[in-house]
Structure 1
Amino acid sequence: MKNPVSITSIGSVSALGETSEEIWQNYLRPEHCLKKGNFERNEAYAGFLPQKSKDEVERLRTENANFRYVDDSVLFAIFAARQAVKKAGWQNDKNIGINIGSSRGATGLFEKYHASFLENGKAETLASPTTTLGNISSWVGQDLEASGPQFSHSVTCSTGLHAVLNGIAWMHAGFTEKFLVGGSEAPLTPFTISQMQAMKIYASEDLDYPCQALNMEKSRNSMVLGEGAGIICMESGGAENAIAKIAGIGYATEKLKHSVSISVEGECLQKSMKMALENRDPEQIDVVVTHAPGTIKGDLAEVNAVKAVFGDKIPAITSNKWKLGHTFGASGVLSMELAVLMLQNQQFIPVPFSNFSKNPQKLEHILVNAVGFGGNAVSVLLSKA
């Protein structure tokens, strides 16, 4: 990190709710926020937005005629971005960069338009412009009337944390001093759930905790999908209103043996964590918020990577996917939100069934991981403001 970067706010919407107070209270509860959906009679657990949040997001369609035709992933991002900008006090700032990514993009709309094409033999007029991936940042920029750079991307499940890297790079290059970054995902469709089930990684048991992320004794894969968005306001330098600071960043890839795999030792995660730590003593890290999707091999690879980096002095380890589901491209930012809330409230949020969730003696430095298909890992080191 050439220069310090401040986080001045985070806005989000997920199965945990939408306000910082509501989200924190849900983290304090031992119960998960997952529910069963029929997904056209193929019942499965998922992390749905609470009805109140869903209604508020849906109301966006009535306030702007153009919003009637956008995908839920766009609406989630607009909703969360408005929260973040308001909390950061950026309402009158127009020269801000925007990079909001998504793993899947306009999932629901694409499936809708494709089904219409199969039935009618022709595409609908708005099929192309409303299903492009760049739609998310573009519409957020339109809504905020921002004049800075606006772009979207997809790096599968590490998309949100790659947005953080991108924003930092643009600020360090001197193009702008403020960047809005994050991820948004609306993947709860029958076809998407079916894709995960076809890979045999989706939760299939009726357990007290359907997603068994960081349970190293599980005998079945237990990934559960969730919907939502997480948006971060970042500023170059040490902002007076910072709620946390980014003290280090790391990224890495590894050679794949399979399109959806990472190595048993989590080599890409080892590299990204070491880069984020730079020359710091690993003992300074109090918590690692893991990607841990709830799959047997994925969880094991990350735990092996943590052990390789930290040796016999492993920090407390946690994850939030057992609580709200795996939100694909938004997941890394929602993990950062958990880390910031723990730093602000000086309280560790454990995984109730995990042996790694020891209570740390202090909360000053938290490392957040994300990794996606393609072996793309990102690690972000957060410190108290």
Structure 2
Amino acid sequence: MSHATDVVVTGLGATTPLGGDVPSTWAAALAGESGARTFDNDWAETYGLPVTFAATIKVAPQDVLPRPELKKMDPSAQYAVIAAREAWADAGSPEVDGDRLGAVVSSGIGGIWTMLDGWDTLREKGARRMLPMTVPMLMPNSPVAFVSLDLGARAGAHALVSACASGAEAIGYGVEMIRSGRADVVVAGGTEAPIHPMPIGAFAASRTLSQRNDDPTAASRPYDVDRDGFVVGEGAGVVVLESAAHAAARGARVYARIAGVGLSADGYHITSPEPSGDGQIRAMRSALADAGIAHRDIVHVNAHATSTVVGDLIEARSIRGVLGDDADHVALSATKSMTGHLLGGAGALETVFTILALHDRQAPPTINVAQPDPELVLDLVRDKPRTLPDGQIAAINNSFGFGGHNVALVVTSA
């Protein structure tokens, strides 16, 4: 499909378990580092948590943001603002009328630290001691609200919530804002700050978390025969999207193009993916059709691949189902092996990785795969980056979320 308005990426921002910005995060990913760490607290003893580690943020917001800002934002918004400011500066701080500037920053859970701290304050000290900013800090649209305030984005500020697909869906919505003529520039991405004992305990109760407490850095192992669940991560990823015409008019550096957006829903189960992968296949096919890209043009896939026993192989079969024999020349990466699973921030961070993979012609590695599952029918990039071909190339980034949400983005080289 040919679009009247091409959408390009001119800025990247992130704060993650691997680094406090995009360059450090990307360098760590290419080096195959893990962001998983044992908790430096007494949560396991106090609450009986069966999981004692997570992929925690590498650079604390307190080291980046001034105290007055920190006090009015939940960590989920802090991460988003840090990433958005980096992305905006990376794009050259474009001059754009605020009425033509949009923001779409999603979170799967929202301000859960604020909500649970507020409940503790109410129970222990009473209503008079609650913070006046509690509601603006806990609402799921708080991160995008702060980003839009920071940048003066008035074309629209949106927070699409689709669990672990939220960040990718936000980028897809940003693309549509530009295509439809609502905006010339959109700051889009996802954020999550879920590393609190309640979500950790809840995920553990659902039997979706790895319990490899004795070796956290090896716990996230997508496609390995010994995978036993995902590792919770935190942080944010943000991109600056622009119409190609707007970027060209100001001489902006272009990383890549978001060429296709594909969305679907399983309508099957609240947490389990549909076993045949039908919804995932429909999302990928829609994204390819939207981009007007042939299967043979896809050289790289950044997989959702959380390291769960069932989900990894459903996605792998779905990718093979969409690409057929052309899947044989696709370099598959599962970067959650390093970052952990950023939930609502995952799809956005992995879009940043997909963009950089094409820009730098380097597919990042998947770590911790000592024994690949014999049912994996794809070419997995293991331990070291792989050089991608020259010329015009394309990649898919997949994101799937509880509730049956499926998002596929097709990225093409600049």
Q: Please state which band the TM-score falls in when normalised by the shorter chain.
A: over 0.9
The residue type equivalent to 2:182 in the other structure is F
Deviation by residue 1:131-163 (Cα, 9 ceiling, x = unmatched): 111211111122223332112231111111111
- What is the aligned partner in structure 2 of residue 259 from structure 1? 270
Deviation by residue 1:64-94 (Cα, 9 ceiling, x = unmatched): 4xx4132011111111111111111235433
The residue type equivalent to 2:66 in the other structure is L
Matched, 1:69 2:96: no
3-state SS in 2 of match to 1:115: helix
- What is the aligned partner in structure 2 of residue 209 from structure 1? 218
Residue 24 of structure 1, aligned match among 23, 26, 30: 26
- What is the aligned partner in structure 1 of residue 346 from structure 2? 331
Matched, 1:60 2:66: yes
The answer to whether the 8 Å contact 2:337/2:368 transfers is: no
- What is the aligned partner in structure 2 of residue 272 from structure 1? 283
Distance 1:362 1:108, change over 3 A: same
The residue type equivalent to 2:232 in the other structure is L
Structure 1 portions without partners, runs of 5+: none
Residue 373 of structure 1, aligned match among 354, 378, 402: 402
Residue 130 of structure 1, aligned match among 128, 137, 142: 137
Residue 111 of structure 2, aligned match among 106, 113, 127: 106
Matched, 1:283 2:291: no
- What is the aligned partner in structure 1 of residue 58 from structure 2? 50
- What is the aligned partner in structure 1 of residue 380 from structure 2? 357
Matches of 1:245 and 1:137, distance apart in 2:
23
TM-score, length of structure 1 as denominator length: 0.92
The Cα shift of 1:369 comes to 0.4
Residue 79 of structure 1, aligned match among 79, 82, 88: 82
The Cα shift of 1:268 comes to 1.2
Matches of 1:12 and 1:96, distance apart in 2:
20
TM-score, length of structure 2 as denominator length: 0.86
Matches of 2:186 and 2:18, distance apart in 1:
25
Matches of 1:180 and 1:293, distance apart in 2:
26
Matches of 2:94 and 2:244, distance apart in 1:
20
Residue 159 of structure 1, aligned match among 151, 163, 166: 166
Q: How many residues align?
A: 377
The answer to whether the 8 Å contact 1:15/1:50 transfers is: yes
Matched, 1:322 2:337: yes
Matched, 1:182 2:189: yes
Structure 2 portions without partners, runs of 5+: 373-378
Percent identity, please: 26
The Cα shift of 1:353 comes to 4.4
Distance 1:80 1:165, change over 3 A: same
The answer to whether the 8 Å contact 1:319/1:335 transfers is: no
The Cα shift of 1:121 comes to 4.9
Matches of 1:31 and 1:84, distance apart in 2:
23
CA RMSD of aligned residues (A): 2.0
Matched, 1:40 2:47: no
Matched, 1:194 2:217: no
The residue type equivalent to 1:384 in the other structure is S
Matches of 2:10 and 2:388, distance apart in 1:
26
